Chain A
Amino acid sequence: MSLLRRLRQLVQKPQAEAATPATPQVPDLNPDVLFREQVAQAIQTHLPELAVTRTGPQLAIGSLTLTCLVGERRQHPQAIVFGLEVRAYQATYFPGGLVDCLAGIGADDADALASGAHNYVTGVLQPIVEALDAAHSPALDFYGRAGLLKWHPLAGPLHVQGFWAARITELDEAYFLRLFQPHLAELFEEQPMPLAENLRQ
């Protein structure tokens, strides 16, 4: 009888061990860290040609650095909504940072942060990267003050919610650009022009 019990113990022991993960994954619940990692993941997914590194609380992509911040969290009956902010810095062109505030909406916290990260990477970071890579769409070019300076617009995709979600195909992605263009042309100042030797830094 004791032998039978012993045999059962030998047989059952591996099953009991298998039920316990060897290295349990403990998620980091700091929202700023979660959001930063979601942004890094979205970059890997949508802009896989970019090399992302972590430098303290920031993400670095070459000379571009991103600070990802999570603000207010609101729990609605069917969704979690985070107020999110991402600041992109580049020493020559925007040393003070390009600040984008957006909402992360999802079924739970991780889903909401991932949604915000996706929208930032596809809607804001991608045009920034294209601008730094000297890309542009000639059809969108326009001239500024006194027709002396020519500007290359880089447009992110039009993000829509609610009524427009089912009618996105009815919208013109360049509409707002054409709406603003005559007003912006008078406001734009000359941008810093790096010296030739700076191009190889």
Chain B
Amino acid sequence: MPNGEFIGDCLLDNEPWPAGLALLAQEAATWETAGQFAGQKQFFLFRQCGAAMVTPAKEVVG
């Protein structure tokens, strides 16, 4: 936030992940944003190698 306050969420398997949020807070504290609002968001999904997936999502249209 412009006043230097950190506001964030970090979820792991839909549940709050405090350790991850602490890492983000440490990271954001290093941002030199000159008193401006600054936000970042990213989604990750992890797939176990060898877990051959069903392929339900891609279908040919038409």
A residues less than 8 Å from B48 (CB atoms): 149-152, 188, 190-191, 193
Q: Which of B9, B31, B45, B50 sits near A101, CB closer than 8 Å? A: B9
Give the residues in chain B near A184, CB-CB below 8 Å: 12, 46
| Chain B binding surface SS class | loop
Point out the residues of chain B lying under 8 angstroms from A107, CB to CB. none
- The reply to whether B43 and A188 form a contact with Cβ atoms under 8 Å apart is no
Residues of B close to A90: CB separation below 8 A: 56
Complexed CA–CA distance, A160 and B31 (Å)? 13
* Chain A facing B: main interface SS: mixed
Please, how many residues of chain A have a CB less than 8 angstroms from a CB on the other chain? 63
Cβ of A201 under 8 Å from chain B: yes
Q: Which of B23-62 contact A (CB under 8 A)?
A: 23-24, 27, 31, 33-34, 36-61
In the complex, whether A124 has a CB less than 8 A from a CB of chain B is yes
Per-position binary interface string of chain A over residues 171-196, scored 1 when its CB falls under 8 Å from any chain B CB and 0 otherwise: 10100110110011001101111100
Q: Which 5 residue pairs are nearest across A and B when measured between Cβ atoms?
A: A63-B56, A62-B56, A163-B38, A162-B37, A150-B49
